[in-house]
Amino acid sequence: MRSMSSGATAPAGTVRRPGDRYPSRMAAEPSITPRLDPVVHGQADDGPLSAAELAFFDQNGYLDFQSLLPPQELQPCLAELDRLRADESIRTAPEAVIEPDSHALRSIFAVHQRQSALAALCAHPRLVAIARQLLGSDVYIHQSRINYKGGFQGREFYWHSDFETWHVEDGMPAMRAVSCSVSLTPNTPHNGPLMLVPGSHRHFVACVGETPQDHYKASLRRQEVGVPDEASLAQLIGDFGLVAPIGPAGSVTFFDCNVMHGSNSNITSAPRSNVFTVYNSVDNRLEAPFCGLQPRPNFIAEREDFRPASSIVEARRSA
């Protein structure tokens, strides 16, 4: 690894907030500093994952399961996705993101807030149980989205640590959140599968560049601020390599909020449609954004509804 700096020096015009343990977008140069939080917060006794699985996640920052969910459970989600894609009004909703080079649908956020099959998937008891165990507490849904990545038109998602953005732009204080990607369609080597740098979650890459107001409106299409520098990426990939879990529909990948990840474009005819749910510990609720700007909207970063994800399902079932 490159020598690690112990922090960033703020140039004039930027202020590091007291208690900001992961300053980013403040210094003139990028830096890589060690992670200051545990990776696995729970115990093997707490839930479905074995001690070996917890150790794998601790070391690599991800865990993937082939065919964790049976295809018939996903059928209603695919049908809902088809309805959403066919609904022109969705495309102008704030929750929808359109591809940068075309009018193709790229993402829809906050799918867990719909009374729907996708919402039920986000709060699926098997997924929530794993998140609870990894984070060692009750969890709420910080964010959910479907990344459609359609055939022919699906563009890349450049390398990023989710936590960098969630910390700077949303005020997430600590690395105690986990993402869960459920594949609704097969993820093949060719249709732009999720790629991860295993082990990168133990290092925080501070980025360069001040956050503009309303940054999310552009960054969700193509990110240009909060982007790790190529030298840091080359170092992480050189040290750790990369993995790209593939599998049939129903495969599931959990990954730490700070693992470096991204995906290539998809010119094949087969969409790579994955539902991402971000579970955050109820003990890691958002504060004011560390960049000093207004928070992003709730449909990107939940700031009000901290009900445990498990209780959402129970409430719906008893309703």
Interface residues with its own copies (CB under 8 A) are 101, 151-152, 155-156, 158-159, 189-190, 192, 195, 222, 230, 233-234, 237-238, 242, 244, 262-269
> Between 59 and 265, whose beta carbon lies closer to its own copies?
265
| Rounded least distance, CB 1 to its own copies, Å | 15
| Rounded least distance, CB 98 to its own copies, Å | 16
> Is the distance from CB of 245 to CB of 122 less than 8 angstroms?
no
| Rounded least distance, CB 264 to its own copies, Å | 5
> Between 41 and 261, whose beta carbon lies closer to its own copies?
261
> Between 253 and 310, whose beta carbon lies closer to its own copies?
253
| Rounded least distance, CB 137 to its own copies, Å | 34
> Between 101 and 214, whose beta carbon lies closer to its own copies?
101
> Between 154 and 173, whose beta carbon lies closer to its own copies?
154
| Rounded least distance, CB 266 to its own copies, Å | 7
| Rounded least distance, CB 223 to its own copies, Å | 12
> Between 113 and 265, whose beta carbon lies closer to its own copies?
265
